[in-house]
Structure 1
Amino acid sequence: MENVIEPLRELDWNDVDVVEAASRKSFELLTTQKYLLRRALNAVTDNPDLTALCEHYDILDKIVLHDDLQSGVRLRLHIFGPGYHDRPHNHRWTYASHILRGHYRHRLYGEAELGTEIDVAGLRAIHVRQERVGTSYALHHSAIHAVVAEPGTVSLVLRGPAIKDRFLVMDAKTGASWWQYGAMTEPSDAAAKKRMSARRLRELIASLDEWQLV
């Protein structure tokens, strides 16, 4: 895993071109040498620091395979369930993604920085694409986007260090928008509610085995 993460530690995560090029090489390493993913996945169950970061929602699971404390970079697996769709939002960090299984419809709307006033009701996609198996991309933390995923879609995500403490979520149907904050300011009961159980983690590992992704 050091060979995957080390080239990402000194990146300027505000430079999406640089992030995309470096992440693509890391994704190539992970997908051509599957034993790296298998080794990392097997290690999660015995690492309480990583299992504490794994999250389960009704329509999405996030498995943290590596948390690099030196740089703030994390490697995750995202497994999308039936009915998954995003409200338009940006992120606290720049990230790169690579599709391992399935596909999703990806809408890009533009940019939003802290304090930006946005006409949510008038929000319109400026770029729509289908992310399929083998696709990789990088997205700047200011970019507003939304995803509608095919059930069973799986992606690898390389998340950069957090650049801000909150991100903006929008509901185009109601015109409402609100800020969401990172785990450092999250109430303990909210964090516990989304924490993935050991049983759910075992179920996901079995599915990833069945799909021959690791």
Structure 2
Amino acid sequence: MVNTASRTCQRNVLDYLSANYLDWGANFEDSAAMARDMLARITSEKGWIAALFSHAENEPLLRQKAETHQLLDYVVLYDALDRGIRLRLHLSTEDHLQRPHDHRFDFSTRILCGSYEHCLISPRQDPYSLSSEEHAIAYQDKDHPDPRVKLKNSDFREMIVRHVSAGSTLSLSNKAVHTVNTAANTASLVLRGPARKVRSMIYDRAEETLWWRFSAEKEAPSRRQAKVMSNDKLQRTKRQFEQLGLFDL
């Protein structure tokens, strides 16, 4: 009975997602609003998140997209970027560093539990103007920052600060620079669109250094291998989601 109910739940959520299309490039505001509505629907239907996680756990292509990072871990629950949809389940780590950064894509997110402080940033100088794409591709992690980008903390002005708690949603364009300071055990459901630019940047305030992020296809094999979540880590992350009650939604 449980297995039948679980399969039905999984079919329902996959059918729902397959019926949607978001054209982020045509209209960010409309697509972001539609994405927020989709996130609200997914979290309101009991068992949908658990069903999606089970789907991702057993689908090889999705399984390889699960990643672990210093500030967060995430599992890709659904991937259809040709229709403007990639759904990820995020979990913050114990590191709560505020690193100004942007994204290659537009996205909307819904906080499921915990909270964070969200701050929009206005750089005094465009980091992209300081380092070409051809040069930047060699500097893709904190241990190898881009030597051409010599920015100071004072070059990143904090503009708008917002406290985001469970049940809240927000959307962000790929053009925006921001920081996120998470509380412990903060989980969120993120619906992102396709990449709108080739690279994005991360700035470390402690070291006053900057490095770049590119698509998986442009990453060095060693870096890609280091990011992919191990089977053991996936099971530990799954238990954390269970303990936080996310699979009871």
TM-score (norm 1): 0.89
Query: Which residue of structure 1 aligns with residue 19 of structure 2?
Result: 6
Identity %: 28
Cα separation, 1, equivalents of 2:211 and 2:233: 30
Q: CA deviation at 1:69?
A: 4.7
Pairs within 5 Å for 1:41-120: 41-110=53-122, 115-116=128-129, 120=152
Q: 1:96 to 1:10 in 2, by over 3 A?
A: closer
**Alpha-carbon separation, structure 1, partners of 2:126 and 2:197:** 10
Q: Who is 2:192 aligned against?
A: 159
- What's the offset of the Cα at 1:103? 0.4
Unpaired runs of at least 5, structure 2 = 1-13, 131-148
Please state how far the C-alpha of 1:192 moved relative to its aligned partner. 0.8
SS in 1 for 2:212: strand
Q: 2:160 aligns with which of 118, 122, 127?
A: 127
Deviation, 1:13, is: 4.0
Q: Secondary structure at the match of 1:90?
A: coil
Q: In the alignment, is the contact (CA less than 8 A) between 1:92 and 1:165 conserved in 2?
A: yes
Shift of 1:173: 4.9
Distance 2:166 2:88 in 1: 17
Which residue of the partner structure matches residue 183 of structure 1?
Answer: 216
| CA spacing shift, 1:96–1:14, aligned 2, 3 Å | farther
Conserved in 2, the CA contact under 8 Å of 1:16 and 1:138?
A: no
Shift of 1:209: 1.8
- 1:53-102 deviation digits (Å, cap 9, x = unpaired): 00012442111000115335210000001123241011100011100010
More helix by share: 2
CA distance, structure 2, for counterparts of residue 171 and residue 202 of structure 1: 30
Aligned residue in 2 for 1:30: 42
Shift of 1:29: 1.0
CA–CA distance in structure 2, aligned partners of residues 169 and 193 of structure 1: 18
Pair 1:23–1:93, CA change in 2 (3 A): same
Aligned residue type for 2:158? A
Q: Which moved more, 1:169-178 or 1:16-25?
A: 169-178
Unmatched runs of 5 consecutive residues or more in structure 1: none
Change (3 A) 1:10 1:105: closer
2:180 maps to 147
Structure 2 CA distance, aligned partners of 1:203 and 1:45?
A: 13
Instruction: Read off the aligned partner of 1:154 and give its amino acid letter.
Output: A
The amino acid of 2:55's aligned partner reads A
Counterpart for residue 138 of structure 1: 171
TM-score normalised to structure 2 length: 0.77
Q: How many Å apart are 1:155 and its aligned residue?
A: 0.3
